Structure 1
Amino acid sequence: MKANGYYNHPRFPLEAGCGLIEEDSIAFTSDSGKTTETPSFPLEIFPKAIRDIIEALEEYENYNVDFTSASFLTVFAAAMGNTWSVRFMTGWVSRPIIYMVLVGSPSCGKTPPLQQAVAPLLKLDGEYDMIYCKEMETYRRWERMSAKQREKHSLPEEMKMPQRKCHVVVDSTVEALIGALRDNPRGVLIYKDEIDSLLSNFNRYNSSDEGYFLSLFSGTPFKYSRKSNNEHIFLANPYCSIIGTTQPGRLGEQFGGKRMMNGFSSRFLKVYPEIDKMPSWNDTAMPDSVLEEWERIIRKVVAATPSTDQEGKATSIELLFSQEAKLRVIQWKDEVNNKAYAETDSDAVRALCGKLETYLVRFCLVIQIMHCICGESGMDKIEPGTAELAIRLTEYFRNMESRIAPEIETGILDNRFTELLGNLRDSFTTAEAVREALQLGISESSVKRFLRNGGRGFVKKKSHGYYRKI
């Protein structure tokens, strides 16, 4: 596979470009210090068959290329699920888990490309549901029979209740998700047109909801107990990707504050293209073959079945890095990502650097399988060209985070306010906060404004003059 671009989109140097710096207005700048254009999605990561689909959707439907590309990338990864994995180091085996958010103003065209991307998986789910309903009908009929009746109709003495197979989950409760993961060991995609309907439910019913999604990102085994029926579920290899949309004005609430500091925000890749007008309409119909080809590709991915172990359990098809590809990834880490980490005091930037390393390895896997499914490469290892393309994609998301940062920085505490909260008790008064703030060089008016605004998500008012940390 060659890494040279099929499209000549503007390229940014492989320098970390994330501008999350406390107390500064955040600007998206190039190495020369000049303001640059919004980054363009590196379409060359896709094989030609998928590029042609994205290009056709732009031509006929006026879909934004960034929204379409990010949606196709995430849905393809979800179709892969647990079928493939990649080993970068002895103890580092990664699967293609992606958390993605499309960001844009109302009516800017976020939803249509996402719907088209997910459509093949939803169609498959519809087919699975028809099979499930027939199986449940048979099971219910068996359940009503006596032992003699079952023997008469040549039915087994024992019958397991059918499990509902699916690729897409829309119910955002953790309990529903865990049930879907148990019944679908290949993995699922949480699809939310408005991501807020997912994020706003966190901690609504259970204080640990957000923690489950932090863990799910890593795909590490965990146990879940359903108190309602005393059921204990163990997920050895949970796979869950997430995709949805949101508006710029909601980013601070959804990804700022504590979610910026605990690494929740950096787990979500964000796509926020420059759009200043509504999508136009086209009187020319797009050929049916365009979306039929996308469905064919997704069905081919889903049809791939991994081998099984001695116990009959499915094991992923594991890819390794070629030596040249691994050296290229290590070079990126040493020369680009480590530099970005060392040059900032921001915990938010450092969290982003860590997650970009995770995503880089996952991108290598997804890109390699994409090109394999479309007949452009092999499946035995991560090739050098794949690593190069994955680096370009990773830097696109780093640069996009710089564009996102001004929208969510209202939820980020600078060092002084972080220290202030650390010095205060869990419950405190305005007078106590002012006294501590003055010692840190924060003016009385600033700390009162900080408290009045809810401490950027870290403070809740109990009563007049009394607050508590959350």
Structure 2
Amino acid sequence: MKTYQPFQPFQHKLPALESSPFAVVLTDDDLDAETKKRRKGLQFPLHVFPQAIQPLIAGLVGDLKGERSFIGLTLLQAGSIAIGSALRASTGSWEVGLSMWGASVGISSSGKSMVQGVLMKPFYKMQEKFDQEYYEGLEAKGKAGEDDDSDLTSSPADYVPMKVVIVQDITFEALVKDVFGHNFKGIARYEDELVKWLDDMERYKSGASEASFWTGGWSPTTSFRLQRTGGKLTIVNRDHWCASVIGSTQPNILYRFFEKNRLETGFVFRFLWAFAEKDQAISPNLSFRLDNALISPYNTMIKRLYEELAMDYRDDKAQVYKLSPAAIKYFQQWQDVQTRKVNDIDSIQERGVQAGLLGKIKEYALRMSLIIKMMHAAFTEPNLRKAGWVEEDDVAKALLCCDYFLQSGFEAYQTAKQKMIVPPQVLEFASLLRSFNYSQKDLAAHLSVSKQAINKRYKEYLEKYPGAFNAKNY
């Protein structure tokens, strides 16, 4: 009888295996069942947001069938974009800016774009106004209708600056020189499908520099300097270098974010992931209308944060808000608990992933504490520049969000790992093990090898390809 020959032989010399009906790739049903099990109970704490916008949130969840996590992540990012580089959060010895990278993960028609469309609308309107002002400026200088790039090389007297809050398709040099050159509050990159943002970094020879710009902008410790051969030096001041990323992706291509050593370098840990509780299409109430009573408080909040926390001039500096002693103590307790959880993980690989997640989520906790504080302050404080300490309650709300993002971050890793190409010898081993109801003893007897050899192989493959075994180790 013809036997199956894997592309790569087993490292330990096991007998050749006969073809088996179980030696097939994992089915979508297998992966779907595992995903549902992991996501059970993974729900975003929407009550952390101001009471004034809770009716809007209720409408998005109830009538429009919006995913709670999509709403929560987008609200946090909206707060981050509105504040921009104007504020920084500090424990006293540790200070961070408010950049946020986030992706809503769901299948087509799961409501990702719908939620972002509603909550990002104030920024779209701002950008439309800025675009109109830019073209009016061109007309005033008699430059309307010229090539779009001509303004970048014109003399200073003819130069027409463009105000920007949201960017999409833009070259790296234009982003650094033209946008950050006079948008001191920072910007956000929006893509409906964030894989395009990853691909855009590979468009030009500047790909490595662009990746460095974005990763540096996530938590800048110094100013960014760009100089091409024979070109003028361009500097993005650390105080103005606030670069957020917002958009969505689908579960089946989530693995793209983990390619090219983005896991090992920590690039992917900068992302906050919002998962649909179930991978399903939604059917929103088509007769529901977001009337002014629902949307006005939210629009007012965004307007106050953006306009009253302005960064209009090159010498404007970020204002630092500090955590109160009680807030720091609460934060410390949470950090200690999460660190112990990570250190108690047996698997070295999983421990490394969870440690990487915790490192970035801790920093997000500090950022979210200030963002959530200022979102509430927009409804209670007459002067947003004098809103006081970041208090324990602000930190507590942020840490509820971080508990979600710690889980969703590992879910992103698991989802991406499932889609890795599993070597055929691993698939066959997993299929045989399933056919013996995961009895290593019975499989060892069938193959006439020791149980120890089977156990060693099982641990080796399970560590690298848990999806092939339906993640029985989780």
With the shorter chain as reference, the TM-score category is 0.7 to 0.9
Q: 1:160 to 1:88 in 2, by over 3 A?
A: farther
Aligned 8 A contact 1:270 1:400 in 2? yes
How many equivalent residue pairs?
377
Could you say which residue in structure 1 is the equivalent of 2:196? 197
Could you say which residue in structure 2 is the equivalent of 1:165? 163
Equivalent residue for 1:384, pick from 372, 389, 392: 392
TM-score (norm 1): 0.72
TM-fit CA distance, 1:195: 0.2
TM-fit CA distance, 1:102: 0.6
Identical residues among aligned pairs (%) = 23
Aligned 8 A contact 2:213 2:224 in 1? no
In 2: Cα distance, 1:266 partner to 1:73 partner: 17
Aligned 8 A contact 1:260 1:412 in 2? no
Could you say which residue in structure 2 is the equivalent of 1:278? 281
TM-fit CA distance, 1:62: 2.1
TM-fit CA distance, 1:28: 8.8
Could you say which residue in structure 2 is the equivalent of 1:130? 132
TM-fit CA distance, 1:276: 4.2
Equivalent residue for 1:362, pick from 341, 360, 367: 367
Could you say which residue in structure 1 is the equivalent of 2:92? 89
**SS of match in other structure, 2:196:** helix
Aligned 8 A contact 1:120 1:295 in 2? yes
Q: Which segments of structure 1 move beyond 4 Å, counting only runs of 4 or more? A: 410-414
Q: 1:287 to 1:116 in 2, by over 3 A?
A: closer
Aligned 8 A contact 2:185 2:242 in 1? yes
Give runs of aligned pairs for residues 308-323 of structure 1, distance below 5 A: 313-323=315-325
TM-fit CA distance, 1:226: 5.3
Could you say which residue in structure 2 is the equivalent of 1:295? 299
Q: 1:249 to 1:413 in 2, by over 3 A?
A: closer
Could you say which residue in structure 2 is the equivalent of 1:57? 60
TM-score (norm 2): 0.72
Could you say which residue in structure 1 is the equivalent of 2:379? 374
Give runs of aligned pairs for residues 42-441 of structure 1, distance below 5 A: 42-90=45-93, 92-140=94-142, 159=157, 161-178=159-176, 179-205=178-204, 206-208=206-208, 209-225=210-226, 227=228, 230-237=231-238, 238-256=241-259, 258-289=261-292, 290-305=294-309, 313-341=315-343, 343=345, 345-346=348-349, 347-375=352-380, 379-409=387-417
More displaced 10-residue stretch of structure 1: 260-269 or 202-211: 202-211
In 2: Cα distance, 1:248 partner to 1:307 partner: 38
Aligned 8 A contact 2:184 2:314 in 1? no
> 1:17-44 deviations in whole A, cap 9, x for unaligned?
xxxxxxxx9x999xxxx96724111112
Q: 1:306 to 1:287 in 2, by over 3 A?
A: closer
TM-fit CA distance, 1:161: 2.1
* RMSD over equivalenced CA pairs, Å: 3.4
Q: 1:271 to 1:48 in 2, by over 3 A?
A: same
In 2: Cα distance, 1:172 partner to 1:370 partner: 30
In 2: Cα distance, 1:69 partner to 1:50 partner: 12
Amino acid paired to 1:384: E
Aligned 8 A contact 1:223 1:232 in 2? no
Q: 1:138 to 1:44 in 2, by over 3 A?
A: same
Amino acid paired to 2:165: H
Q: 1:159 to 1:405 in 2, by over 3 A?
A: closer
TM-fit CA distance, 1:348: 2.2
TM-fit CA distance, 1:186: 0.3
Aligned 8 A contact 2:255 2:416 in 1? yes
Aligned 8 A contact 1:56 1:286 in 2? no
Greater strand proportion: 1
TM-fit CA distance, 1:63: 1.8
Q: 1:50 to 1:103 in 2, by over 3 A?
A: same
TM-fit CA distance, 1:341: 4.3
Q: 1:231 to 1:413 in 2, by over 3 A?
A: farther
In 2: Cα distance, 1:298 partner to 1:69 partner: 15
TM-fit CA distance, 1:177: 2.3
